Amino acid sequence: MFGEKIVTGPLLMGIFILAIVVLLILIIKFKLNAFVALLVTAFATGILVNMPLNEVAQTVTDGFGGTLGSIGMVTGLGVMLGKFMFESGGIESICNRILGVFGDKKSPIAVALSGFITGIPVFGDVVYIMFAPMLRVLSKKTKISMVTYACAISVATTCTFALVLPTAPPLAVAETIGIDIGIFFFYALISAFVGMIVGGILWGKVLDKQDKKNNHFYTFEDLDEEEEQIEKKSSKELMGAGKALSILLVPIILILLGSFVPLAVGADSPIMPVISFIGNKNFAMMCGVIYAALISRKYIEKTATDVMTEAADQVGLILLITGAGGAFGKILQATGIADYVAGSLSQFSIPILVLCFLIAQIIRCAQGSTTVALMTTAAILTSTIAASGVSPILCSIAICAGGIGLSLPNDSGFWAISRFFKISVTDTIRGWTIGGFIAGLAILVFVSVLSLFQGVLPGLM
């Protein structure tokens, strides 16, 4: 009968593998929405482990609600923040300013930096849509390979998506493992920057040399319409780059104050209640959205309410998938599968940072979604990380790094990059799949070096 005994031993590993296989089949073979696929897998896993049926339902509910309760508000506010930056033309101004500083020859660096900044408040596909016409014109003008530009923007954007708050995946990892998000943000931002340099810029240079050597270039015969669109945009008054950056900085500064001031003044300081309040992620993001609405008024044709409503519409599916990922993770923890899988893998004496990266990378490669891979890995390794002696901050970054590379055709982002930049599947693999993997490896090496100094560096222990 159901609920008499929860399965133990090697059978747990078999059920876990079956659950992952079923999840992959539902998403890849049957094209089922990831939200529904995760819920089906979560319920099925609980039933197969013989958990009492009422506990299965309650655990799924608790996992879903707990995840959204911790990250739902800040994710929604983050999308609103990005929407104001996009509608006001602020993101375009940032990109134009950076391109103006670096010039044509170093434009791939400028593109990577632009993607790195815009990838924080704006989701990947929107960034690709926004940049594609400009990058194709740049490639035609500079004779720099289009694959190099695609590599620069896609790797940079995904580094921030996978690592930098307030995007959903790193926020979910931070909440699952229970780490301070301000300190995590600080080290994750630096790590993402390292990944961008190695995987987005340096690998992009290699691609450009390869394409020049092989005389491999795109003709851009269809560029007339895109060039006209760019000219029309240039006639519109845009928010300045400084103002646009200030929208990002308001919540970031507040969150960092809430995390680092206690390290300086001590937890017993009389100013701590105020610091904790203003550094709260939800309050900080709310302040950022209000500030964005106020300074964007003269640059947007829509009302602030319309912008917020459109942003809320965009965030719905993101929250559903994230919540379902939390439900699946909760089932893995409640049934003992997470502890058993982590314990089994630990027998191979794999360093914890490598283990974090490896599991996330395997799941990411297998089913395509960065969010699902990171949340599942965090759920599996939470207790192992706590007992490892390695900073949970660095372990969380290693997990996030595993979600960057080896994007295959089962990933919708793979096709977004190929479609919007109008490059072949082979070139998408060269620029994005391999470039992202190199970026993830670079971040893993970087956090491994940081772990040698975790007793000295602030906030890591």
What are the per-10-residue average pLDDT scores of the chain (461 residues)?
60 87 81 85 92 92 85 81 84 80 87 87 68 81 91 92 86 90 92 96 95 86 58 69 87 85 80 90 90 92 90 79 82 82 77 92 77 86 89 95 80 77 86 94 96 89 71
**379 phi, psi to nearest 5 deg:** -65, -40
Q: Residue 105's CB: how many other CB atoms inside 10 A?
A: 9
Q: Which amino acid is at 415?
A: W
Per-residue confidence (pLDDT) for residue 226, from 0 to 100: 54
Length of the chain: 461
Which residues 6+ apart lie within 8 Å of 224 measured at CB?
A: none
Query: Distance (Å, rounded) from C-alpha 111 to C-alpha 104?
Result: 11
Which residues 6+ apart lie within 8 Å of 354 measured at CB?
A: 398, 444
Which long-range contacts does 290-298 make (Cβ < 8 Å, 24+ apart)?
291/246, 291/247, 291/250, 292/80, 292/81, 292/84, 292/85, 292/247, 293/84, 295/239, 295/243, 295/246, 295/247, 296/84, 296/87, 296/88, 296/90, 296/239, 296/247, 298/237
Per-residue confidence (pLDDT) for residue 57, from 0 to 100: 94
**CA-to-CA separations, 461 to 37, 84, 237, 386, 392, in angstroms, rounded:** 37, 37, 48, 11, 8
Q: Are 99 and 110 in contact (CB under 8 A)?
A: yes
Q: Residue 265's CB: how many other CB atoms inside 10 A?
A: 13
Per-residue confidence (pLDDT) for residue 192, from 0 to 100: 96
401-421: b or e for each residue (b if 16 or more CB lie within 10 Å)? bbbbbbbeebbebbebbbebb
Q: Are 136 and 226 in contact (CB under 8 A)?
A: yes
Q: Residue 376's CB: how many other CB atoms inside 10 A?
A: 27
Which residues 6+ apart lie within 8 Å of 84 measured at CB?
A: 90, 247, 289, 292, 293, 296, 300, 304, 307
Per-residue confidence (pLDDT) for residue 1, from 0 to 100: 44
Tokens of 427: 């070139």
**CA-to-CA separations, 74 to 70, 165, 283, 290, in angstroms, rounded:** 8, 9, 9, 13
Which residues 6+ apart lie within 8 Å of 445 measured at CB?
A: none
Per-residue confidence (pLDDT) for residue 395, from 0 to 100: 95
**449 phi, psi to nearest 5 deg:** -65, -45
Q: Are 416 and 131 in contact (CB under 8 A)?
A: no
- How many whole angstroms from its chain centre is CA 15? 28
Q: Are 78 and 167 in contact (CB under 8 A)?
A: yes
Q: Which amino acid is at 139?
A: S
**CA-to-CA separations, 331 to 34, 326, 379, in angstroms, rounded:** 17, 9, 9
